[in-house]
Amino acid sequence: MALQEKYKELIDTAIAQGVNDLNVREQEGVLYIDGDASGSIKQQLWDTYERLDPNYSSGDLVMNINSIAGVTEGSKLKVTTNSSNLNIRSGPSTDADIVGKAARHEVVTLVSKANDQWWEIKTDNGAAGYSYTQYLTPL
């Protein structure tokens, strides 16, 4: 229970912010926090995590706040890469061939979700394939 004490503020924030399907459990010296929430709540929780455990260096928490669970097919997504274009690939892996690119801040359409990491998208120019969800922000 010691970890739930250490991360009490984080857990309390998650509860207060109404994270959906919130699941908190401790196993073999690691605390696991899972749930679905908006991108801004996810950001708030991660900032809290960083404050409680600077640089996340203790390795005693695995926090998976899914901010993309509620996004449905046909939704518009903005490409939020750091600076480069977003690769569109033939399959859901970085091993798959690059079949197209989407520009930074371009708006694309969600076709289907392969998994939480890879989504099939299409651009207005007709490029279609799989991109990494980390660089896609629902509008």
Partner 1 sequence: MKNLTMKTTALLVALVIMGTTFTSCKSGPKDDAVKAAVETALLSNPHIVEAAVTVEKGVATISGQVPDDATKADIDKTVAGVAGVKSVVNNLTVVPETPTVPVAATDVLTNAVKDATKDFPTVTATVNDGVVTLKGEIQKANLQKLMMALNALKPKKVDNSQLVIK
Site for partner 1 contains 27 (CB under 8 A)? yes
Site for partner 1 contains 66 (CB under 8 A)? yes
User: Which residues 6+ apart lie within 8 Å of 18 measured at CB?
Assistant: 37
Q: How far apart are CB 73 and partner 1 at their closest, in Å?
A: 20
Round to whole Å and give the CA distance between 37 and 44: 11
Vertex 121 angle, CA 47 and 134, to 5°: 15
Q: How far apart are CB 54 and partner 1 at their closest, in Å?
A: 9
Is 59 or 74 the residue whose CB approaches partner 1 more closely? 59
Ramachandran bin of 33, using left for φ above 0, alpha for ψ from -120 to 50, beta for the remaining angles: beta
Give, for 24, the enclosing helix (H) or strand (E).
strand 20-27
- Per-residue contact flags (x/-) with partner 1 for residues 95 to 114, judged by CB under 8 A: x-------------------
User: Which residues 6+ apart lie within 8 Å of 121 measured at CB?
Assistant: 77, 88, 102, 108, 109, 110, 111, 128, 129, 130, 131, 136
**11, 19, 63, 88: residue in contact with partner 1 (rule CB under 8 A):** 63
Q: How far apart are CB 15 and partner 1 at their closest, in Å?
A: 19
Site for partner 1 contains 93 (CB under 8 A)? yes
- Residues of this chain that interact with partner 1 (CB under 8 A) are 25, 27-28, 30, 32, 42, 46, 50, 55-57, 59-60, 62-64, 66, 82, 93-95, 116-118, 132, 134
